[in-house]
Amino acid sequence: MAADSRTIIAPTDAELLQAQADLWRHSLYYLTSMALKCAVELHIPTAIHNLGGAASLPDLVTALSLPQTKLPFLRRLMRLLITSGIFASESGAEVETYRLNPLSWLLVEGVEAEDHTYQKYFALATVSLHYLEAGLSLADWFKKDLPVPTPSPFEELHGVPLVHETTKLLDEELDRILNEGVADMTTWQLEPLFGSAGVRSLTDCGGGDGTTVRGIIKAFPDIKCTVLDLPRVIENAPAHDSVNYVAGDMFHSIPPAQTVLVKLLLHFFNDEDCVKILEQCRKAIPSKEEGGKVIIIEIAVDPSVGPIMYEAQLLMDMLMMMNIRGRQRDENDWREIFMKAGFSDYKIVKKIGARGVIEVYP
């Protein structure tokens, strides 16, 4: 066989030096995640907010009740977090001032009741010990010939699925953080979607404690809202005069409504289970002519959203791959699932950051 005639051109010294720096960055990015975790656990965003939105290093050390000997170490931590875009800073003539930016605003405690932006628990969950252990086992997981449906590295390593009633048996604190983290991600910027859509009745499928529908009712009190979730979730939901809580199983039956909302839920499941859930959704709504539809809020992986959003979508897909049996999907994946579930059409009506709002019609 003839040798490959292609010529391999070695990188230049300058390219290799840049590549080495890039390798350092990629290999050490976990330190940025650890620094973020530290900032959240020390309540640094909240401390800056309580100090009027700006704080010097000495002010921050005092507000956090840290030993004065930790001041130079806190400076190094903040320097990395500023460079990584997690905080902002201003350098004056005598002292550097730390400020909140939109990212660190998401981590301020005490403002979530008004604008639903609080994301602390998501940040903590993704760097929990059990998550990290699953990531460290990824190469071993690839080498194993596992049964289908294939358990995630998390499930294979720890023996229980993530985001499941058995997670509490593994670690009660992780289970609490996960539940809070899911709530963080499912309330923000969703209520305005229903104002001009002519929605008369709504079932929130897998709606947890009803936080989302309570926000919808507050804005649009004429919408009749039902929340469906597992009995162990519904029994802990706060009572509300305008919310009908139903304990059940979305694989078997969904309370009927003009619109069924399925928000940030389907990525937890494989394609076959998504089809089963959506088949029940289709049975719960009237015809398209009568206004029946399913509103799905999920990531629709698409490079056209821009490099930062696209990278976030791909990282979320890796998070799914390592920890659960579901995945993030692109538009072609969603189309195939909708058609298999018996729907006639769909439309991506809006994008909310890295996520999309998809209306699916019977």
Does the pLDDT value for residue 114 go beyond 50? Answer: no
- Kindly tell me the sign of the dihedral angle through the C-alpha atoms of 247, 320, 295, 192: positive
Q: What percent of the chain has pLDDT over 70?
A: 86
Least confidently predicted of 144-153, 171-180, 350-359:
171-180
Cα–Cα distance between 214 and 113 in angstroms, integer? 12
pLDDT category of residue 1 using cuts at 50, 70 and 90: very low
Question: Does the structural domain 186-361 have CATH classification 1.10.1660.10?
Answer: no
Amino acid at 346: Y
271-284 and 331-340 are packed helices; what angle lies between their axes, rounded to 10 degrees?
Answer: 60
Could you read off the pLDDT of 300-342 as tens digits, one per residue? 999 999 999 999 999 999 999 999 889 999 999 999 999 999 9
Instruction: Mention the CATH class of domain 13-114.
Output: mainly alpha
Predicted confidence band at 4 (pLDDT cuts at 50, 70, 90)? low
pLDDT tens figures, 13-46: 999 999 999 999 999 999 999 999 999 999 999 9
Question: What does residue 2 show for φ and ψ, rounded to 5 degrees?
Answer: -70, 145
- For 224, list phi and psi in degrees, rounded to 5: -85, 120
Report pTM: 0.86
Q: What is the pLDDT of residue 170?
A: 52
Among residues 213, 233, 235, which one has the least CA distance to residue 224? 213
- Across all residues in the chain, what is the average pLDDT? 87
For residue 347, list its beta bridge partners. Answer: 359
Distance in angstroms (rounded) separating the CA atoms of residues 280 and 246: 15
Choice between 91 and 263, residue whose per-residue pLDDT is larger = 263
pLDDT in tens, 163-212: 655 545 555 665 565 555 555 455 555 555 665 567 889 999 988 888 88
- According to CATH, where is 1.10.10.10 located in the chain? 13-114
Dihedral sign for Cα atoms in the order 171, 177, 180, 186: negative
Cα–Cα distance between 240 and 200 in angstroms, integer? 18
So what's the pLDDT on residue 77?
97
What are the catalytic residues? 267
Residues of the chain with CATH 3.40.50.150: 186-361
Helix/strand/coil for 120: helix
